[in-house]
Amino acid sequence: MSNNSTIIGHYKVFNNQSLLRPTASEHRSSKLNSSGIPANSLFQSARRPLSNFYGNSLKARKSKLGIVGARRSFIFTPRAVLAMDPPSEQLAGKFNLDGNIEMQVFVSKSSGSSIAQVNIQINYSSDSLLLHWGVIRDRKEKWVLPSLQPDGTKNYKNRALRSPFMESGSNSCINIAIDDPAIQAIEFLIVDEAQNKWFKNNGQNFYVELPMREKLTIPNVSVPEELVQIQAYLRWERNGKQMYTPEQEKEEYEAARFELLEKVARGTSIEDLRAMLTNKNDIREIKEPSVSQIENNLPDDLVQVQAYMRWEKAGKPNFSPEQQQMEFEKAREELQAELGKGVSVDEIRKKISKGEIKTSVSKQVQNKRYFSTERIQRKRRDIAQLINRHSAKSVGDRASKSVEEKASIESKVLKAVELFAKEKEEYDGGAVLNKKIFKLADKELLVLVTKSGGKMKVRLATDFEEPVTLHWALSEKAGEWLEPPPTVLPPGSVALKEAAETQLKNESSAKFSYLVQSFEIEIEEGIFVGLPFVLLSNGRWIKNNGSDFYIEFSGGSKHVQKDAGDGIGTARALLDKIAEMESEAQKSFMHRFNIAADLMDKAKDAGELGLAGILVWMRFMATRQLIWNKNYNVKPREISKAQDRLTDLLQDIYASNPQHQELLRMIMSTVGRGGEGDVGQRIRDEILVIQRNNECKGGMMEEWHQKLHNNTSPDDVIICQALIDHIKSDFDISVYWKTLNENGITKERLLSYDRAIHSEPNFRRDQRDGLLRDLGNYMRTLKAVHSGADLESAITNCMGYRSEGQGFMVGVQINPIPGLPSGFPELLQFVLKHVEDKNVEALIEGLLEARQELRPLLFKSNNRLKDLLFLDIALDSTVRTAIERGYEELSNAGPEKIMYFITLVLENLALPSDDHEDLIYCIKEWKHALSMSNSKSDHWALYSKSVLDRTRLALASKAEWYQQVLQPSAEYLGSLLGVDQWALNIFTEEIIRAGSAAALSTLLNRLDPVLRQTAHLGSWQVISPVEAVGYVVAVDELLTVQNKTYKFPTILVAKRVKGEEEIPDGAVALLTPDMPDVLSHVSVRARNSKVCFATCFDPNILANLQAYEGKLLRLKPTSADIVYSELKEGELADSSSTNLTEGSPSPIKLVRKEFRGRYAISSEEFTSEMVGAKSRNISYLKGKVPSWIGIPTSVALPFGVFEKVLSEDSNKEVANKLQLLKKNLGEELSALREIRQTVLQLTAPPQLVQELKTKMQSSGMPWPGDEGEQRWDQAWMAIKKVWASKWNERAYFSTRKVKLDHDYLCMAVLVQEVINADYAFVIHTTNPSSGDSSEIYAEVVKGLGETLVGAYPGRALSFICKKNDLNSPQVLGYPSKPIGLFIRIRRSIILRSDSNGEDLEGYAGAGLYDSVPMDEEEKVVLDYSSDPLITDEKFRRSILSGIARAGSAIEELYGSPQDIEGVIRDGNVYVVQTRPQM
C-alpha cells in the first residue's frame, strides 16, 4: 500500500454492508475498537472482547478466556442531555393537534453558551407518547441526529430519533438541548406508539427554528487522526451504525474532526481530548488486569488494525468464524514478534501506519460455496425432476391437437356473409382494403372494400330476411355526409339531399350456398375516404350502437374486424363484466386493480379461459390501450394497497391451482408488485425531497411532481430513467427523448396526462451528482411499486432492506423472507455483480442456478410467496435480456457453444412452466447431442438436427397454445373496449416475442444451417421428384385449399402441411418448410399423382420462391435438390411436364358389395367378395413368411354388414335420418360430420354380437364382453367409427375427385389383436424418393404406428438399406416426434378399415379411412436420450436390420414392391398389413 497512514486515517469506518444481507443482522455486522478501527465481521470471534451498547453506556465484555492482549474495561457515560428549565423561554409556536389537544413549543438560549433548549408541552397524556425528531444543520434538508439526546431516546432506523415524553398529570412534556451552533432548526412529528396515532402539522412535519447562537472561532490547529477516527466511530455508533456511501463516510469523518476542533476552541486540550476519548480520566474506570498487561502491554486495537491489514491484503475474503479467529491470532503473533525485537508499542503504532509490519499473507480468491470469481459451480440435478406430472397429459393432448381437432377445423361453418365475402374476394383477386362484420342481434352485416385496377368496390351484405333499405352517403373527410355522384348510384337508387337510398337486392350462390341481401358500388380511388350509412327495415332504423355506421375505404388491416362476435373460446360472461366495469376502471389504477381483485373469484371459477381474460385485460392496460387515469386524484399508497390486494389474491390462486401457474405469473408480471410498508406513499414524498435537495422546484420537475401527486403509473419508471440518462449524457436533451420514445412515451402522451408535462428538464451542472444519487434511489421506489420484473428491487424485497425517510418521511423496512436456501444471498450477489457483463455465459448460469434454488419454495405455502414469484419472474426476464445481449458473443462461436446456450434457454423456459415435459426431454437430448459431438460421433450433427426440429415443434406447440387460449379473449374483449385493431392482430405474437421463446428461436435459426452443412443434408428434402412447370401461389395452409380446383397449372408454396391433406386439382408442385413424413398420406398422393413435393429447409430460398407469386416457374428436382427458373408465358405450352398434358383422371369403377349372410368371418374365409385387400394380404402372409416374422390373429366383419345393420328395424330411425342427410349432402362439411355422428347411433343386432364372439374366441382372440358389458360397448363404438370414416372429409372429396361413386364404397372391418409395440414401422421396398429398387426405405416411431401414418407432428427415424447388404442400415434422419402412443391394457383389439376403394389400380385409397383401437391410446411424451434405438448403436443396427430383412422377405413373396406396416415388440418383428407400393 502506497500510503498506509492514509489507510488508517481514512479506513472505511462505516462498513457498507451488502444489500443482500438480512437486515435483522445489520446492527451487529460491523464493530470498531477504541481507536476507531473497525472490527470487521471477520474478526468478531466469540473469544475476543468486543464493545456493545447497553442503554446509554459503553461497556466492555469481560474476557472469559485468557486471551493474550491488553484492553481496558470501562464505562463511558455520555453527558446528561435532559436540559434544565430554560432561563428565558420564548413561545415559538402554538398548534392544535386533534380536537382539544394543543401543543406549545418554547425555545431559549442559555446566556454565554451555544446551547439552545427546546421545551414541548402537550395537554395529552400517554405512557407511549414519543417525539419522532431530527435537526436541520447547514441549511440541508437531510435530518441530522444530534449528540445530545434525552434519556430513553432510541435510534429509529438510523434516520430519526424517538424520545419519550414525561407525563405530568394530564399533560406531557419533553426538553431537548442542542449544543451545535450549526443546527438551525428542529423538525419533528409526535406519535402515540401504542395506538399508532400520528400528530402532524397539516400533513407535514413540525418545523421550529432555533435562535442564533454564538459561533466559535475554530483555531488553526490539527487534531491527531487517531482521535478523529475514534470520534467518527462514536458518531457512527450514536447514529445507529447505519450503512454509509463513500461520500457519506467522508462527510461523517470531517464532521467528527469539526466536533473535536469545536472542543479545542472551547479550551479543551489535545491531551484532555485523548484522555476523554480513550477513557483515561473517566470517573468510573474499572481496572481489569489480563495476561497481555503482563506480557508487553500489547493494545488490542493494534491487533485489530493489523488483522484488518492482513484481511485487506488477502483480497477481503469471506472468512468463517474459525478463520477470523485464526487471522486475529496471527496478527497478534506478528506484533508480538515486533515486541520481541525490543520495539515499543508507540513505535509499533507508527510502523503499522507506514505499512512496515511484515505479514505472511498472500491475496486469496474469495472462497464462496457457490462460485469463484469467474463463474458459479452449478449443482448436479436430474433435470427430469422438474416435470410436473399434473400436466403431462395436457402436453400430449396439445401435441396431437391437430389430429383430434382436424374435423372441427375442416368443418368450420362459414356464415352467409362470410361465404359472400369469400366468393367476392376470389372473384376480384385484388387487395382487401377493409373488411368488417357487424353483429346485429342474431344477424350479421358485412362491409367489404376491395381494390383492383385503380378502382375500389364497396359491398354490403346481410343475412336479414326482411327487406332492407340502405340510407348512405360518401365522405371526403371522415364522418361527413355527401350526396353520391349519379355515376356511382346503383340502379333503383333515390338521390336525397346529402345522401342516397338504395334497396338491397337478394343474391345467392350455388357454389358457396348462401343467400344474402347485398349492395355494391364502384368508385375511383383517391376521391372519397369513407362511406357513412344507416339501415331501414320494417320502418325501423338500425344503427351502430346509436351512431351511424361508418366504413373507411383504406382501413389498413386486412384482417376481419368484428364488432364483438360471439365470444366462442372465451369466458364470455367474465369479459362482458369487465367491459361493463371499464368506465369505472378508467378512473385510476386503484379502481382498476380493485375491480380486478373483485373479479378474481369469477375468473378462477372459469378456469384457464377466465384467467386468460384477466391477463388480456391487464395486458391492454400495460400496453396503454386503455385509459390509465380519468380526472381522479388518488394517492400512490392507495394504488399500492390495491396492487397488494390483487397480487395477494393471485398468490393464493397460484398456490392452489398449479395447472394455471403460467397464466398467473404472466398476470402478476403485468400488474406489478405493489408496495409494502409505506412504499406507495414514498413515491409522492420522495419527489419532494429530490426537489428540495437539488433546488429544482419548478419547470418539468414540478410538472412531474404534480403528475405523481395526482396519479402515478408505470410511465414514471421510464420518465425517471430518461432523466437519469439525460443527466449522465452531460444534459443532452435528445437522450431524454430517445429513452422516452424507445419505451413508447411521446410528447403527446406526456401532454395527455391529467397533470400534463409540458416542459423539458433544465438542470444546472452543479446539480448533477445530487440528482443522479436521488433519482437513482427514487427509481428503486418506483420499480418496487410498478415493476414486476425488475431484478434489483425483486432481490431486495426478498432479502430485506431498509430505506430511511428523509425530512418528514418515516421510511420503509422490508424483512427478509425466512427459509431461503443456504448460500442464496451470495448467489444473487454474483448475479447483480455480473448483470451487465458483455460475456453472458457465467451470468446466465448464475441466473438459472438461482431459479433452480428458488423453485422448491414456489410450491410451498408462504405468506411472502408473491415476493418469491416476482423474484423468479425478474430472474427469468434477465435471462432473456442476457441471451439477447450475448448474440454477439455467439456470432463466431462453434456449434457446440450455440447448443450449450440452447440448453440454457430451454432450462429457463421449462422452469416456470406448468406444461414443460417436452422441453425437459429436449434439454436431455441436447445434452446427449453435445456428448456425441465431444466424442466425435459421425452422427452428432444428424442427431442434433432432429433435436433442433423437435425443439422447434415444442415452440410451435407453445405458440399454438397462446393463440388458442389468449387470442379469442383478446379479440372479443378488445372489440368491446375499442382497442385498436392492429393491437388485437398482434396480441399473441407480442406476448410470445416478449419471452425466452423468441431468443430460443433465434439460436435455433443460427444453428440450423451449420448442422445441415455438417450432416450434408442440403437445403431440400425431395419427397416426390417430378419436374413441373406452373404459376406460383403462396398459401398459409394446404388444408384451406385442398378442395380447390386451380384453372392453371399451379406451384403451391404452403407454410403448413400436416400430412393428411389432399393435393388440390391443378397443383403440379407442392413446396413447404413443414416436414411431413415421406410416407404420410400427402406424400403418397404426390408420388401417385406425379406431383412434385419437397420440403425446403432454407427460409431465404422459400422467401425467394414466395416472391415469384403469380410468375411462371420451372422446377427441376433431383433426389436432394431443386433447381428453379422463371419462364416466359409462351413457354408454358412447350413444357414437357406430364402434369400439364394429362387430362382429368379416367373414371374408376367400384362394384357394390352385397351382404353374404355372415356377420363375422375368420382369416381363412377372407375372399375378395367378403373383405378388402388389407385383410386378404394379412391372411396370405400367414404360414408363408419366415417364422421369425409374427402375424397377428385376425377376424373380420365382411362387406355388407354395415348396410345389413342399418336395415334392422331397431335402426330404422337412424337409417331414415342418414338417407335425408345424404340427399342434402353437397359441399357442406357440416353434413358430413352429422352423418358420422348419426352412424354412431346404430345398435348391434344380437346375431352380430354372437357371431363375432364365436369367431374371435375360436381364433384365440380376447372377447371384450368377457370383461363386462362396458368393454363390448367400447368395441362396438370402435366398429361404428370405422364405418363412419367412409364420410370423413378427406375420403369423401378424394373419391369425388376421381369420380368414384361414393354409394358403391363398402367397408369391411378387420379385427386384430393389438401388439403392445415398443416401435412401429412402415417399409417401402423400393426407395420412394429416388425410385431405386435396389434399396429399402423405412421409417420407425416409438410406440404404436398411428403417429407415423397419422398427421402427428415431427419426423420418424428414417433409414435405407441395400438389399444386397441387409445388415448395414444407413440412418438418414433421427426422430423428432414428441409423442408416442401406447396401449397399457394387457390384451386389446384394433378395428381397421378395409374398403373396396383402397389399393385400386390408378388410385391409392389407402389411408383415407380410419383404424380405431378399442382402448384409447395413452399419449406419452418421448425421451429419446434414454431410448436404446438412439443411444445403443448395436441395438439400433439389430432392429433396423430386422425390419429391412422382413421387407425383403415379403417383397420376395409377392414378387413386387410392397408398402408394409408392422411393429417391434421385445425385439421381435410383427407385420400387421402389406399392400402393393404405389
Q: Give the residue numbers annotated as catalytic, written as ranges.
A: 1081
Measure the CA–CA gap between 498 and 1066, rounded to whole angstroms: 50
- The burial of 755, by beta-carbon neighbours within 10 Å (0-12 exposed, 13-18 middle, 19 or more buried), is given as middle
Alpha helices in 1259-1301 (DSSP H): 1269-1284, 1289-1297
Question: Which cell is 1448 given?
Answer: 425383403
| CA angle, 277 then 283 then 287, to 5° | 85
Residues 6+ apart with CB under 8 A from 1111: 1031, 1032, 1126
Pick from 548, 547, 468, 469: nearest CA to 502: 469
Pick from 785, 713, 724: nearest CA to 754: 713
Q: What is the DSSP string of 151-211?
A: TT-EEETTTEEEEEPEEETTEEEEEEEE--TTEEEEEEEEEETTTTEEE-BTTB-EEEEPP
Amino acid letter for position 1409: Y
Residues 6+ apart with CB under 8 A from 835: 791, 843, 878, 882
Strand (E) or helix (H) holding 526: none
Pick from 169, 62, 180, 78: nearest CA to 125: 169
Question: CB of 216 within 8 A of CB of 266?
Answer: yes
Q: What is the DSSP string of 303-332?
A: HHHHHHHHHHHTT-----HHHHHHHHHHHH
Cβ count near 81 (within 10 Å): 19
Cβ count near 675 (within 10 Å): 25
Question: Which cell is 295 given?
Answer: 506480557
From residue 96, how far is each of 103, 134, 172, 194 by CA, in Å? 6, 21, 15, 21
Measure the CA–CA gap between 695 and 334, rounded to whole angstroms: 53
Amino acid letter for position 961: W
Measure the CA–CA gap between 817 and 857, rounded to whole angstroms: 11
Question: CB of 1205 within 8 A of CB of 1307?
Answer: no
Measure the CA–CA gap between 908 and 724, rounded to whole angstroms: 31
Measure CA of the first residue to CA of the last residue in the chain; give whole Å.
87
Question: CB of 43 within 8 A of CB of 327?
Answer: yes
For cell 400488474, the residue is 671
Question: CB of 1459 within 8 A of CB of 1068?
Answer: no
From residue 1349, how far is each of 1078, 1079, 1092, 1407, 1451 by CA, in Å? 10, 7, 21, 8, 20
Strand (E) or helix (H) holding 130: strand 129-137
Work out whether strand 1122-1126 and strand 443-452 pair parallel, antiparallel, or are unpaired.
unpaired
Measure the CA–CA gap between 1011 and 1017, rounded to whole angstroms: 8
* Torsion 881-883-884-886 (CA) sign: positive
Measure the CA–CA gap between 369 and 823, rounded to whole angstroms: 7
Pick from 1393, 1041, 1002: nearest CA to 1197: 1393
Measure the CA–CA gap between 1419 and 391, rounded to whole angstroms: 12
β-strand partners of 1359: 1338, 1371
Measure the CA–CA gap between 1135 and 1138, rounded to whole angstroms: 9
